[in-house]
Amino acid sequence: MNTILKYSNVENVTELVISKKEGVIFFMKKWTLDYWDDESGKHSVERWLQKLTHEHFKAVFKKLKLLEKMGNDLKLPHSRPLGKGLFELREFNYGYRVYYGFYKDKLIILLHAGDKDTQQKDIKVARGRLAKMQ
């Protein structure tokens, strides 16, 4: 494709690409991140993020922004599929993990989060929450 114009971050559009060759404009809708919430309306991932130090939060936030932009195109080393619709967003500096799944059109649900020390327990919790969504 011979791109003559490429513009990013137009409101809810990740990329606007105008192709000279095909004469087509492509709008790639931005992904939306949302928290899984229990019956009481509490968001465990949001609470987990609030407990992080500023430096640790920034490291996780960078990965979340990347996930928001790339969606299901995000692959290793940033994201790893765990099977049955569950994915792991990987932050390397501090060993944090955010578990998520895709829901409907361009919606990513953040199911659970933790670090390498609690990884197996966190995956089990995330799988349970994902099952409730489906």
Q: Where are the domains of the chain?
A: 1-30, 31-133
User: Do residues 127 and 86 lie in contact, with contact meaning Cβ atoms separated by under 8 Å?
Assistant: yes
Among 121, 98, 119, 120, CA closest to 110: 98
Identify the CATH number of the domain defined by range 31-133: 3.30.2310.20
For the chain, the straight-line distance linking the first and the last C-alpha, in angstroms and rounded, comes to 38
Query: pLDDT at position 41, please?
Result: 66
What does the block give as tokens for 15? 């990329």
Query: pLDDT at position 58, please?
Result: 93
Query: pLDDT at position 107, please?
Result: 86
Query: pLDDT at position 24, please?
Result: 54
d(CA 31, CA 107): 6
What does the block give as tokens for 76? 């290793």
pLDDT along the chain (134 residues), means of 10: 38 46 56 79 82 93 91 90 94 94 87 92 94 83
